[in-house]
Amino acid sequence: MTTQPQWWQGAAIYQIYPRSFLDTTGNGVGDLAGITRKLDYVAELGVDAIWISPFVQSPMKDYGYDVSDYRAVDPLFGQQGDVQVLFDEAHKRGLKVLMDQVLSHTSDQHPWFAESKLSRDNPKADWYVWADAAPDGGPPNNWLSVFGGPSWQWSPWRSQYYLHNFLREQPDLNFHNPDVQEAMLDVCRYWLDLGADGFRLDVCAFYFHDRQLRDNPPEPEAPRGAHFQFNPYSHQRHTRDIGQPENLGFLERLRALIDEYEDRVLLGEMHQENYAQLHRDYTAPGRLHLAYGYDLLGAETLDAGVVRASVEKLGHADDDGWPCWAMDNHDFTRTPTRCGVEDEPDAAVVALAALTCLRGASCLYQGSELALPEAQLDFEDLQDPYGKEFWPAYKGRDGARTPMPWKAEEPHGGFSEADPWLPVPPAHARLAVDVQDTQPGSPLNRVRAFLDWRRTEPALRTGSMVIHDAPDGVLAFTRDDGRGPVFCAFNLASEGTCLDLGHAVSGDALDGHGFGCHADDSGIHLPAWGAWFGRPPGAQAEGTRA
């Protein structure tokens, strides 16, 4: 059991989507040099690490999540030397750097696939998942692609089908082949040697498939949430195509590699099938350090009960891997729009504050600190293949991927001198960094102040957590690292409320965090989207341990 806290326990991780952060070359696409140029901005937010979405070579069918060379930087983003500069400059500022690693599949333009498809007996023949047609000529089984339709594509080269869990241009690697596992470990070793502090593992439950290619059973429950209702993928229980037990063995091999280096971390993206058990299995000792799922990313309301349920579902011993919490990323509609609080900038601030105070790490997505709403795009603007496939029932992921607005009065929000790959909406330009910089009460400055204060309270990073019963709309808990417990109460509602849990629980008010609340004999008065932090005078009160 580890006795000293690790940097990733309670880390605030800032996700950067490189295509949309800052363009320094005038081609309308963000690049690695743009990230390096803005590292001071990131460091001043008070985060501990950055996670960079894929920047390796890719034909960009799925915007970097279709890799054609795992070791080469795509020319859109710069050169190989730009990575080393970025790593070095980030480390000078005390920032760790996590790379997005897409190990489950490649591009169909990867040399491995180009060789694999040529015949059934070449050296790479078994590097991808190939299968003969069913007796009627159809796909081998009923598996479905996340991006729509069957997850099998016929190849006349081999007169066989190959598996693709996403686009047909993204064939799945065959992790049952030991050579594939070794190749993936070598890829990770390459980037660790260059200075990467770890990896965010894209869809890390997708590595292995059922060897027997058995059908998935139907999903007996109706899909939850509008995001899933338009896609037949959600009508199956994905017990055969993903989440196989062999995944755990490979993660243990990857963890053993990571542990050869100092202070490196594995952050896994989990799917939602049997999520609580999956999370416990994947973050058990010797596997992932951190993992996150879609509970809060898909939540359609800022509901304290939903957050509490997610926390309690993932509660586990302190020596296991930790949860990672996220409400925004490049795949989901931005929180202010998804949760109906676009006109309530304080809601975005309190949600982010609550997220970073939960036991576990947290991921902030670029623009969340500005309280950016989802960009409303026309079909003609879309680049996302997922959005194009399911339009108009689903408008895709591009609304969360539009360029970062840096300067309100400059063309394209100061992101690029050229027309950007996605437009910068006027609503985002009005919330640009240079505007919010000058406003003491802006979301940006409040987030900076809060994360800076959070650094002064170690309990909020590594302490245990006890949840307290509270009125509807309020999330209340105590974090305690044995040195200085902190009581936290967040009003995730548009109306004020009064909280009275007693002085022994809530303690004396702490200041410096930027939330203005007051207490009297009747309790703590929490305004709409308000928060309270106190120092309990004695031992931690009884409650639900998470």
The closest of 425, 431, 546 to 477, measured between CA atoms, is: 546
CA-based Rg of the chain, rounded to a whole angstrom? Answer: 23
Question: What torsion do the CA atoms of 360, 364, 365, 367 make, to the nearest 10 degrees?
Answer: 170
Catalytic residue (one of 260, 380, 511, 520): 260
Are 162 and 117 in contact, with CB atoms under 8 Å apart? yes
Tell which phi-psi region holds residue 396, choosing left (phi > 0), alpha (psi between -120 and 50) or beta.
Answer: left
Catalytic residue (one of 74, 202, 241, 374): 202
The answer to whether 521 is a known catalytic residue is no
d(CA 440, CA 449): 10
In DSSP notation, 165-214 reads SS-TTSPBB-TTSHHHHHHHHHHHHHHHHHT--EEEETTTT-S---TT-P
Phi first, then psi: give them for residue 347, nearest 5 degrees: -65, -40
d(CA 140, CA 135): 9
3-class DSSP assignment, residue 337: helix
Are 475 and 539 in contact, with CB atoms under 8 Å apart? no
d(CA 296, CA 229): 17
d(CA 524, CA 422): 45
The answer to whether 202 is a known catalytic residue is yes
Are 173 and 106 in contact, with CB atoms under 8 Å apart? yes
Cis peptide before 527 (omega within 30 of 0): no
Q: In sequence order, what are the residues at sequence separation of 6 or more whose Cβ sits closer than 8 angstroms to the Cβ of residue 128? A: 112, 113, 116, 117, 162, 163, 171, 172, 173, 174
Q: In sequence order, what are the residues at sequence separation of 6 or more whose Cβ sits closer than 8 angstroms to the Cβ of residue 134? A: 140, 141
Q: What single DSSP character describes residue 34?
A: H
Residues classed as catalytic: 202, 260
